[in-house]
Chains A and B, each alone.
Chain A
Amino acid sequence: QSVLTQPPSASGTPGQRVTISCSGSNSNIGSNYVYWYQQLPGTAPKLLIYRNNQRPSGVPDRFSGSKSGTSASLAISGLRSEDEADYYCAAWDDSLSGYVIFGGGTKLTVL
């Protein structure tokens, strides 16, 4: 089983806009919804984006998601120090008998 491909690290300064990419294939991102999670140190992942671009209640609109073909992106605008965390993408994969596949994670540093 492979994972979705994310850059291992990203960085930005406060107020800046940063994007994190997530690359997959036709069997996962190409044919299913993409989800994004934020994981602060020592805590459980928190859902940021579901169904490509939907925000759960309580998630600021500074966070947005998009998808095109077999790739997806998470954008964070108005970067804040509290956004420093690990970010993961995920999708259902239709191969084998079907399973959830995660990205390797991106460590976001706020400079």
Chain B
Amino acid sequence: QVQLQESGPGLVKPSETLSLTCSVSGGSISSSYWSWIRQSPGKGLEWIGYIYYTGTTKYNPSLKSRVTMSVDTSKNRISLKLTSVTSADTAVYYCARDYSSNCPPAYWGQGTLVTVSS
């Protein structure tokens, strides 16, 4: 069974870049779509975007100007970068595996909390 593990700094300063990695184990990163989703403390869920193992991406229009996703098939992992962060970007960030393109995520990692604060 595929397992997902997010990792990265738990604290990021305002205006800096948030960088997270999602390591995939128990299966290949190839032939699947992979999403990032976030959840602000006590709030609902927000889809950030997805990436295919070929590098094809689709981002949430509201975040598109600040988001970059990438894939490293040799290391079986995907990455997320979010630039110019503010306190509004404080959230638990999840990576997930999708059944296909253009659909909600299926299987989620445990998530990692990122706090934006000076």
Instruction: Tell me how many residue pairs across A and B have CB atoms closer than 8 Å.
Output: 65
Interface size class for chain B?
A: 20 to 34
A100 & B44 in contact (Cβ 8 Å cutoff): no
Additional pairs, 19, CB under 8 Å, beyond known A98-B58, A99-B60, A100-B47:
A1-B60, A1-B62, A44-B94, A45-B45, A50-B99, A50-B104, A50-B106, A56-B106, A88-B45, A90-B104, A92-B103, A96-B61, A99-B47, A99-B59, A100-B35, A100-B37, A100-B104, A102-B44, A102-B45
A97 & B44 in contact (Cβ 8 Å cutoff): no
Chain B interface, >50% SS class = strand
Q: B102 within 8 Å of A by Cβ? A: yes
Please report B residues at the A interface, Cβ cutoff 8 Å.
35, 37, 44-47, 49, 58-62, 94, 99, 102-111
A44 & B104 in contact (Cβ 8 Å cutoff): no
Tell me the smallest distance from the CB of B4 to a CB of chain A, in Å. 9
Tell me the smallest distance from the CB of A46 to a CB of chain B, in Å. 7
